[in-house]
A and B are shown apart, each in its own frame.
Chain A
Amino acid sequence: MSRLAATDHKQTAAKIAVASIFFFLLSGLLALTMRAELAQPGLQFVSDHTYDELFTMHGSGMIYLFLTPAALGLGLYLVPLQVGASQIAAPRLALFGFWLYLCGGLTMYSGFLTNNGAGDDTWTATIPLSNSTGTPGMGMDLWVIGVALAVFGSLLIAITILLTILRHRAPGMTMLRLPVFSWTMLATTFMVVGSFPVLVVAMGLLLAERHLGGVFTGSTGSIVYQHLFWFYGHPVVYVMFFPFVGAVGEAVATFSRKRFFGYRALVVSLLFFTALSMAVWGHHMFITGAVKNQYYSLTSSLLAVPAGIEYLDLIGTMIGGAIVLRAPMLFALGFIAQFLIGVLTGIIVASPPLDDHVTGTYFIVAHFHYTLFAGSLFGLLAGVHYWFPKATGAMLRERLAKASFWVLVLGANLTFFPMFFLGYDGMPRRVADYEPRLGDLNLLSSIGAGVIAIGVLMVLANLVVSLRRREPAGDDPWGAQTLEWWTSSPPPEHNFERPLPQITSHAPLLDLREHEEEVRERRVEVPA
């Protein structure tokens, strides 16, 4: 019991990690079932109704219960360490946030135990389909309540991270000395605080609509709901992206043996990105005929600028470095290459005349899986492989990690690349059946999903093996640059047992090494 009630941020983050892996595997299993059904045209394994539950719970699970909490959990673990704090701000709030999230997830999934099954209205639950006439039944109510709880829990966790960055930085840690990952978390929590409350309210209203009626009615009701939903729904995309860019940035700097390139440009681009993230939601509504398409097209296209700066900074960090291709670096490179495809197809769908054709199709499914799976998940895995030794004190098996990387690269591209063609050629998303002429590409994609499953199992096996038969990591196995590597692995309860080094930049440990090097070169006595 003492573990369940522990308020240490590392313990809470560990709970989030376990819960989010659980929901990832569950939601991934649903995806595998879908790909099995879609391997051939016609209905083979599941009914239309079951299929609707599958894609709804897959998308909802991955977004509300896996990538968002995992991103915030990473921040909850690392931010206090990176800013030199002994604890998160408001640790009990963070723990409460975790329990809300877990209860929300279990509530959402418990819909499968009801007569009509789980929520089956897609992860967006558009009105009027999601009202009591369109989707009667307890399962949908559980979905609505589950989403509200999980999102509210995520909001609380984000608030504690935001407060930690603003109020608990070590002496000398000015805002422009925050590590790259902590900056991405700061931008992330801004977006969470600005947008998540809107979804909690929207879910409350949706529940009222389902039981009392009269909320989202008339010719505007469905449009109002979409505005509320997407005001959350777009920023959340970057909540599931920024922290992983941060993780990738840290890994790239460490394994290039070089300071992160263009730190201040990155900070500016993150803030620009954050501001824009709350001004682009209408691009999800281009074909409703109810928004000013030109405005949202312009703001969405402008996202290319900060995205480009981030790419420049990542590549600039590698140029001139001494690159070591350890597993975290491989996953980081995978993120950089594959997320790029997500970015570039994102520019395509920011153009309404092009979006008119591909929205609501497998082209979109391919686009956002390149951002969320081939991008964010690879970024998350870069972070997991990078910080696992810190959090557990044990190294991961390097060869197994590298093998799992290549299997996942193969699986991701085999699964998602054909979907661009499927969508362009006329396959809408959210269908259990399709025209026979689309069978070959679908089969290819289904085979890819199997390859992904193997890759995921390899990653899990690596985690288990490395924890069971431990190879001690030491405080800083990578020669890293930020404060979390200054303490022991795993860190003690209050994070640091020895005094922090002087914080002179966003890479204090690198400063220290460079200083020592200079001292050696000049053969100067080190002052005691």
Chain B
Amino acid sequence: MASTRNDFASVWSLYLWIGIAVAVLVLAAVLFAVVRYRARPGRAPSRRAEANLLEVGVAIVILAIVALLVFRTFHTEAKEDDSSAAGAVRIRVDAFQWGWKFTYPGQGVTVIGNSDREPNFAVPAGRTVSFALTSSDVIHAMWIPGQKFKKDAIPGRVNHFDMEFGGRGREQGLCSEFCGLRHSNMRFGVWVLSDASYERWLAAHR
């Protein structure tokens, strides 16, 4: 799942533009019908009530569009499922009511924070980051809107996924699965750093 962000953008725009085109077409048809076929003196309504060829034709066209969309979706989904990048930065994430713990296995680095003081963890820009996400109490979800991605944190299960962070700077993350009282404030930050700064950050947090 090296480049979710690029893939997301292209899949999203494919779905969105097809959706907009269909919406325009359907609304135009409705508008046409309402304007063209308004009741007027002398207009007798048609008695035609069936056009099975048209029904089948429309079904086939929709099926073809669905096939295109599903094909595109499967293609991207397969990349997401393929989280076997070697040499990736590994981060274990433990969600809890109402905060996050980020652990860098083998590095001796742990960042923890809660709804009063949100934690910030760091990743190197341009490298694959492999997350192992779980929860120690109820279900949470780890969402990084800038990455267009989220995954559930479920107690007793570990969900694995990869991300690659592009531009440097800070990305906001938050919990997006209702988890109780302080859910609104269960946030975290991601510092996306150059390799050198990332190493310095690790050293400073050991």
Q: Which 3 A-B pairs have the closest CB atoms?
A: A219-B156, A320-B46, A426-B145
A interface, by DSSP: helix, strand, loop or mixed? helix
Interface residues on B, range: 35 or more
Q: For A353, what are the chain B residues with a Cβ–Cβ distance below 8 Å? A: 4, 7-8, 11, 73, 76-77, 80
Contact yes or no, A360 B49, CB < 8 A:
no
Q: For A309, what are the chain B residues with a Cβ–Cβ distance below 8 Å? A: 55, 58-59
The 8 Å CB contact of A322, one of B11, B39, B179, is B39
Q: For B157, what are the chain A residues with a Cβ–Cβ distance below 8 Å? A: 219, 223, 289-290
Q: For B155, what are the chain A residues with a Cβ–Cβ distance below 8 Å? A: 128, 219, 222
| B37 → A minimal CB distance (Å) | 5
A267 to B22, CA, bound (A): 23
Contact yes or no, B39 A222, CB < 8 A:
no
A interface with B by C-beta (< 8 Å): 48-49, 52, 121-122, 126, 128-129, 134-135, 218-223, 256-265, 287-290, 293-294, 297-298, 301-302, 304-305, 308-309, 311-313, 315-316, 318-325, 333, 336-337, 340-341, 344-345, 347-348, 351-354, 356-357, 359-361, 425-426, 428-435, 514
B27 at interface by CB-CB < 8 Å: yes
Given A321-B46, A361-B176: 11 more A-B contacts, CB < 8 Å: A48-B184, A288-B159, A290-B157, A304-B66, A318-B30, A322-B38, A324-B38, A340-B26, A348-B19, A429-B176, A430-B178
Contact yes or no, A333 B34, CB < 8 A:
yes
Q: For A322, what are the chain B residues with a Cβ–Cβ distance below 8 Å? A: 37-40, 43-45
The 8 Å CB contact of A262, one of B7, B55, B156, is B55
* Complex interface bits, B53-76 against A, C-beta within 8 A gives 1, otherwise 0: 011001100110110011001101
B51 at interface by CB-CB < 8 Å: yes
Contact yes or no, B55 A348, CB < 8 A:
no
Contact yes or no, A315 B29, CB < 8 A:
yes
Contact yes or no, B33 A319, CB < 8 A:
yes
B48 at interface by CB-CB < 8 Å: yes
Q: For B177, what are the chain A residues with a Cβ–Cβ distance below 8 Å? A: 126, 360
A134 to B177, CA, bound (A): 14
Q: For B44, what are the chain A residues with a Cβ–Cβ distance below 8 Å? A: 322
* Complex interface bits, B182-202 against A, C-beta within 8 A gives 1, otherwise 0: 111100000000000000000
| A441 → B minimal CB distance (Å) | 15
A429 to B184, CA, bound (A): 9
Contact yes or no, B151 A287, CB < 8 A:
yes
A301 to B15, CA, bound (A): 12
The 8 Å CB contact of B37, one of A122, A219, A289, A321, is A321
Q: For B107, what are the chain A residues with a Cβ–Cβ distance below 8 Å? A: none
A304 to B155, CA, bound (A): 35
A261 to B143, CA, bound (A): 46
Contact yes or no, A433 B184, CB < 8 A:
yes
B203 at interface by CB-CB < 8 Å: no
Q: For A49, what are the chain B residues with a Cβ–Cβ distance below 8 Å? A: 181
Contact yes or no, A348 B145, CB < 8 A:
no
| B28 → A minimal CB distance (Å) | 10
Given A128-B139, A301-B66, A305-B63, A356:B148 Cβ within 8 A? yes
Q: For A344, what are the chain B residues with a Cβ–Cβ distance below 8 Å? A: 19, 22-23
Q: For A302, what are the chain B residues with a Cβ–Cβ distance below 8 Å? A: 66
Q: For A325, what are the chain B residues with a Cβ–Cβ distance below 8 Å? A: 34, 38
A354 to B103, CA, bound (A): 28
Contact yes or no, B50 A261, CB < 8 A:
yes
Contact yes or no, A340 B27, CB < 8 A:
yes
| B167 → A minimal CB distance (Å) | 17
Q: For A121, what are the chain B residues with a Cβ–Cβ distance below 8 Å? A: 178
Contact yes or no, A354 B54, CB < 8 A:
no
The 8 Å CB contact of A428, one of B39, B45, B174, is B174
Contact yes or no, B30 A354, CB < 8 A:
no
Cross-chain pairs A/B with CB under 8 angstroms, 22 sampled: A52-B180, A128-B137, A221-B156, A222-B154, A258-B46, A262-B51, A264-B50, A265-B52, A287-B141, A287-B152, A293-B77, A294-B74, A301-B69, A304-B66, A308-B58, A311-B26, A312-B54, A347-B69, A354-B12, A360-B141, A426-B172, A433-B185
A357 to B44, CA, bound (A): 51
The 8 Å CB contact of A256, one of B37, B62, B65, B77, is B37
| A281 → B minimal CB distance (Å) | 16
Contact yes or no, A312 B66, CB < 8 A:
no
Contact yes or no, B178 A308, CB < 8 A:
no
Q: For A257, what are the chain B residues with a Cβ–Cβ distance below 8 Å? A: 39, 45
Residue in chain A with minimal CB distance to B19: A344
Q: For B49, what are the chain A residues with a Cβ–Cβ distance below 8 Å? A: 258-263
Given A323-B38, A337-B27, A425-B145, A357:B45 Cβ within 8 A? no
The 8 Å CB contact of B34, one of A318, A426, A428, is A318
Residue in chain B with minimal CB distance to A55: B178
Contact yes or no, B184 A431, CB < 8 A:
yes
A257 to B33, CA, bound (A): 13
The 8 Å CB contact of B39, one of A264, A313, A324, A354, is A324
For window 1-34 of chain B, which residues contact chain A by CB distance below 8 Å? 4, 7-8, 11-12, 15-16, 19, 22-23, 26-27, 29-30, 33-34
A258 to B39, CA, bound (A): 11
B92 at interface by CB-CB < 8 Å: no
Q: For A122, what are the chain B residues with a Cβ–Cβ distance below 8 Å? A: 178
The 8 Å CB contact of A298, one of B45, B62, B70, is B70
| A91 → B minimal CB distance (Å) | 35
B150 at interface by CB-CB < 8 Å: yes
Contact yes or no, B55 A354, CB < 8 A:
no
Q: For B65, what are the chain A residues with a Cβ–Cβ distance below 8 Å? A: 304
A73 to B69, CA, bound (A): 38
Contact yes or no, A359 B73, CB < 8 A:
no
Q: For A324, what are the chain B residues with a Cβ–Cβ distance below 8 Å? A: 38-39
| A255 → B minimal CB distance (Å) | 9
A222 to B43, CA, bound (A): 61
Contact yes or no, B152 A301, CB < 8 A:
no
Given A308-B62, A353-B80, A347:B183 Cβ within 8 A? no
Q: For A357, what are the chain B residues with a Cβ–Cβ distance below 8 Å? A: 8, 145, 148-150
Residue in chain B with minimal CB distance to A264: B50
B47 at interface by CB-CB < 8 Å: yes
B175 at interface by CB-CB < 8 Å: yes
The 8 Å CB contact of A351, one of B15, B39, B48, B148, is B15
| A121 → B minimal CB distance (Å) | 8
Residue in chain B with minimal CB distance to A348: B15
Given A128-B137, A219-B157, A359-B150, A301:B70 Cβ within 8 A? yes
Residue in chain A with minimal CB distance to B4: A353
A428 to B182, CA, bound (A): 13
Contact yes or no, B138 A360, CB < 8 A:
no
Q: For A359, what are the chain B residues with a Cβ–Cβ distance below 8 Å? A: 150, 176
Instruction: Identify which of A261, A320, A325 gathers the most chain B CB atoms within 10 Å of its CB.
Output: A320
